[in-house]
Amino acid sequence: MPRKTLNAFLMRELAASPGVQRLVVGFSGGLDSTVLLQALAREASAFALPVLAVHVHHGLSPNADAWARHAQSQCDALGIPLQICRVQIAPQGSVEAAARAARRAAFAGVLKAGDALLLAQHQDDQAETLLFRLLRGAGVRGLAAMAEVSRFPLDEKSYVPQWRPLLGVSRAQLEQWAQAEDLHWIEDESNADSRYARNFLRNEALPLLRTRWPGAAETLAATAARLREADGLLTELARELASQAVDAQQRLHIPQVLALSPAKQRLLLRYWLQEQDFLAPDEAMLDRIREEVIPAREDAAPLLQWESAEIRRYREQLYAMRPLSVLPENWEQAWSGEQDLLLPDGRLLRLDSAPENLRVTYRRGGERLQVGGLSRELKTLFQENAVPPWERERLPLVWRGSELLVVAGMDWRLREDAPVLHLLSLEREREQ
């Protein structure tokens, strides 16, 4: 059954992802990954794709070296190359969470464009994940648990397909198939330690549920699938709401938000933040955004922070951003423009016109700029152009002697001899 399931899965997903050129399998040497690798070894030739197995050596068990040798011998017998990744687990905090993070980092170090990552989670794992997240108070997206098809990020802008082809197969079915094929696998002794939350669910809670409801794991996995469908519908709704409330600069317009019910406001806020790759805040923080930031006075400057994100408001718009760094006081730099200038906030200033002797500062107050033949105060120009207060202090001012020539990042009509500049983020520069 696992082999037929895998064959059907690969036929469907490879047709949908023609760019996949290599299959990378997470191979711990346990039952589920052993079945996946064995089945894949028999099916891969039909798809003419190379296979690479990746074994993550956590070093947490005295048997870790023996497991790595077992993984190597299994791969040698199958003719599949194996890459062993040795990782270090931070001694503080949750060992489970640290091991998962280290495993993901190891996979990210191996994967490249054109790969697909195959993981061996099965139906019982799905049921366990649903219970675990339910007890942690997760919402619909969290309760949807694991997806058969998802994305594994390589960096902030690229990803490879992540496939879990065995989610519809129970552990009992995997074990039955493995025994019929005379397969050998390792048993991680830590799996018996019910002090860990997931092990408690696996070893204590699910077996007890099965004494009353024999099909508990199958039912829970089916529930997760229905919740995933519901999450997809909510995402469609959130996308429609965002099309009316979010502009091209990813600013959220407050009047459109206020026209929505509280539930739709929370849905839109989560979607808006997730689309910008911010870690979603908890319900309490979402309510603070709704109750403190959105209804704040127009002249107020509310700010909320969590993890690596912050929310600010200016006029009728919300802004989500990374926390701003503190700029050095009275910073000034002479600049010829022959090379890009690295600014204190990490951005780059580039001169696209002829090099000349310039100096660059940040705003200190009282500056004036020649715009359209008139001398204008920067403060007035910023207000007229709706530049948020926190950005005003971070826009580089470019001077020739004592004369302010241009404010980098502002597309104002200036005098003809003003230098042509570009203000770039380091991420944009790397893309170029």
CATH number (domain holding residue 303): 1.20.59.20
Q: Decide which of 321, 341, 370 is a domain's last residue.
A: 321
Does 150 fall in a domain?
yes
| Cβ count within 10 A of residue 52 | 17
Are the C-beta atoms of 408 and 395 separated by less than 8 Å? yes
46 and 178 housed in the same domain: yes
206 and 277 housed in the same domain: no
Are the C-beta atoms of 52 and 81 separated by less than 8 Å? yes
115 and 159 housed in the same domain: yes
Q: Decide which of 266, 287, 321 is a domain's last residue.
A: 321
Q: How far apart are CA 59 and CA 375, in angstroms?
A: 68
Edge-first strand order for the sheet with 82-86 is: 82-86, 51-57, 22-26, 115-118, 159-163, 149-153
Does 342 fall in a domain?
yes
Q: How far apart are CA 206 and CA 217, in angstroms?
A: 7
**Predicted local distance difference test score (pLDDT) of residue 151:** 94
The residue with tokens 């694991």 is 146
Structural domain for 413, as ranges: 332-431
35 and 128 housed in the same domain: yes
357 and 427 housed in the same domain: yes
Does 241 fall in a domain?
no
Residue by residue, pLDDT tens for the chain (432 residues) are 678 899 999 999 999 999 999 999 999 999 999 999 999 998 877 888 999 999 999 888 899 999 999 999 999 999 999 999 999 887 666 777 888 889 999 999 999 999 999 999 999 999 999 999 999 888 899 999 999 999 999 987 789 999 999 999 999 999 999 999 999 999 988 888 898 888 999 999 999 999 999 999 999 999 999 999 999 999 999 999 999 999 999 999 999 999 999 999 999 999 999 999 898 888 899 999 999 999 988 778 899 998 889 999 998 999 999 998 889 999 999 999 889 999 998 899 998 888 889 999 999 989 999 887 788 899 999 999 989 999 999 999 999 999 998 898 887 767 677 788 888 875 443 344
Q: Decide which of 171, 202, 217 is a domain's last residue.
A: 217
287 and 195 housed in the same domain: no
5 φ, ψ (degrees, to nearest 5): -60, -45
186 and 85 housed in the same domain: yes
13 and 87 housed in the same domain: yes
Tokens linked to 253: 């317009």
Domain count of the fold of the chain: 3
CATH number (domain holding residue 212): 3.40.50.620
**Predicted local distance difference test score (pLDDT) of residue 356:** 87
Are the C-beta atoms of 175 and 158 separated by less than 8 Å? no
Does 224 fall in a domain?
no
Helices (H), 323-393: 378-384, 389-392
Does 165 fall in a domain?
yes
- One-letter identity of residue 141: R
71 and 209 housed in the same domain: yes
Pairing of strands 22-26, 115-118: parallel
317 and 408 housed in the same domain: no
265 and 347 housed in the same domain: no
**Predicted local distance difference test score (pLDDT) of residue 430:** 38
Radius of gyration of the chain from Cα atoms? 28
Are the C-beta atoms of 103 and 59 separated by less than 8 Å? no
Does 236 fall in a domain?
no
**Predicted local distance difference test score (pLDDT) of residue 428:** 42
188 and 262 housed in the same domain: no
**Predicted local distance difference test score (pLDDT) of residue 431:** 41
Judge if pTM exceeds 0.75: yes
**Angle, in degrees to the nearest 10, between helices 262-275 and 216-245:** 90
Q: Which long-range contacts (CB under 8 A, 24 or more apart) does 355-360 make?
A: 356/400, 356/419, 357/400, 358/334, 358/398, 358/399, 358/400, 358/405, 358/419, 359/332, 359/333, 359/334, 359/335, 359/398, 359/399, 360/332, 360/333, 360/335, 360/396, 360/397, 360/398, 360/399
